[in-house]
Amino acid sequence: MKNKRNLVLGVSAIFMIFALSSCTSTKEIEKPKTTKVESLKKKGEYSNVKVEVLSSETRKQIGDDFLAENSIGIFKILRVRVSNNRNDEIIADTSNFKLIDNKNRVFSCSNMMATSSKYTKSEEILFLKPINPGLTVSSYLIFDIPEDAKGLYLKVTHDLFGDIMNISIN
């Protein structure tokens, strides 16, 4: 009986050591390199909805040490602010935003990457986000685009009304 108890305790101790060692690592994760965050403050307004592109950033990787995401091309990260100046609620969603380059290639937001912890700690996630009249929401839009994409502009649409605005990024 005493041997079984010691055996169980020993196996449990070994299991705990393995579990703890797998949670901690002495290998340091390389911090992602970032390019300069470019302050843009470009805006468009249509049908009493204002969209401002506050900044633009290019990165190869986003996220933190635990949830890092690598780009296939390059991440173009836009910080936007959406203001509802209408008399009724609007629904903002990442599907309302497309990035278009000078070759007329259309890039969609990366929803999975938009929820990366680095970019959502103090910002809203634009996933079917209701915005009441008189309110403003800021968020990040993350696009995985080819490194050769130039002449970018943000196309903003509203599916129900067909409202469109284009905001130059570079």
CB distance 168 to 100 below 8 Å:
no
In this prediction, residue 162 carries a pLDDT of 64
What lies within 8 Å, CB to CB, of 52 at 6+ separation is: 41, 42, 43, 80, 81, 83
Place of tokens 């390199």: 33
CB distance 105 to 97 below 8 Å:
no
pLDDT, tens digit, 9 for 90 and up, residues 95-110: 889 999 999 999 998 8
pLDDT, tens digit, 9 for 90 and up, residues 40-58: 557 888 788 899 999 999 9
User: Distance between CA atoms of 78 and 97, rounded to whole angstroms?
Assistant: 11
DSSP string of 40-94, one letter each residue = EEEEEEETTEEEEEEEEEEEEEES-SSS-EEEEEEEEEEEEEEEE-SSS-EEE-G
Higher pLDDT, 108 or 163: 108
Annotated domain spans of the chain: 38-168
pLDDT, tens digit, 9 for 90 and up, residues 55-104: 999 999 887 677 778 889 999 999 999 999 999 999 888 888 999 999 99
First-residue to last-residue Cα distance in the chain: 75
Fold of 38-168: Immunoglobulin-like (2.60.40)
